[in-house]
Structure 1
Amino acid sequence: MNLIGNKIRLLREEKGLSQENLASALDITQSNYARLEKDDNRISVPRLIIIAKTLETTVTELVGEKANTVVNQNHNHEAVTYLHANFQADKEHIQTLKDEIEYLKKMVDKFLEK
């Protein structure tokens, strides 16, 4: 499905802009721009930003639900691995801080005994 390209086309038509208008904003030919609308996998983030500004909308509005789907499909495993690694690092850091607190408590107790 070409959700992003269709959304761009609809917004472009609503604004009364031609493919040539957006092609000019992107500094590409009209035929290259037409391919972007037909195959949204070819659209880079910098181009999405320019398109969004030209159409007076946001990248989030253009991308919509598809971004969440792509991230979930392509990066779910990487996300879980990343979160697990951070969780482990946080657990280790917490344990280190607890150990330091215990050490400092002992030092304070020794100081107060003198």
Structure 2
Amino acid sequence: MNNIGNRIRNLREQLGYSQENLALELGITQPSYARLEKQDERISIIRLIQIADILKTTVAELIGEKTQKVINQQNSESSHAYNVDTINTIINADKEHIATLKDEIMYLRNILDKEVV
């Protein structure tokens, strides 16, 4: 199955970029970027937009939908369902990312509280 990480890697390689190049553009380390391609970590919509910009493509293509398919579906009844599913997928991914960030904030606050006491 061709997942988002594989699509990103394929586009990156087609453009002749290394993982280090993209990591630098994104302001992250190469190992962090490698985890994105391996999908060891969830990719937020903001990060997908950044990657799409760097790779000169669209988020729709990164998540597996060809631009032409999206255009053709705009006039069909399935267009609405497709858009709702895509939006729900993005919302769920962002909710998971937010939950992870909240956990990290709580963890860091606990560390700070212990240092202050």
What TM bracket, shorter-length normalisation?
0.5 to 0.7
Q: Is this contact kept in 2: 1:2–1:40, CA < 8 A?
A: no
1:44 alignment counterpart: 44
2:27 alignment counterpart: 27
Task: Return the TM-score normalized by structure 1.
Answer: 0.54
User: Structure 1 residues 55, 40: closer, same or farther in 2, change over 3 A?
Assistant: farther
Alpha-carbon distance in structure 2 between the residues aligned to 1:10 and 1:40: 17
Matching residue's letter, 1:64: G
Q: Is this contact kept in 2: 1:4–1:63, CA < 8 A?
A: yes
Shift in Å, 1:2 = 6.1
Alpha-carbon distance in structure 2 between the residues aligned to 1:41 and 1:31: 11
Q: What do you get for the CA RMSD once the two structures are aligned?
A: 2.3
Alpha-carbon distance in structure 1 between the residues aligned to 2:24 and 2:47: 12
Alpha-carbon distance in structure 2 between the residues aligned to 1:39 and 1:9: 11
Q: Is this contact kept in 1: 2:26–2:50, CA < 8 A?
A: yes
Tell me how many residue pairs correspond in the alignment: 70
Identity, in percent, stands at 64
1:18 alignment counterpart: 18
Shift in Å, 1:64 = 1.7
Alpha-carbon distance in structure 1 between the residues aligned to 2:42 and 2:2: 11
Gaps of 5+ in 2: 66-81, 90-117
Deviant stretches of 4+, over 2 Å = none
Alpha-carbon distance in structure 1 between the residues aligned to 2:58 and 2:41: 18
Please give the residue correspondences for 1:1-114 in structure 2 after superposition, counting only pairs within 5 Å.
3-39=3-39, 42-65=42-65, 71=85
The structure whose Rg is larger is 1
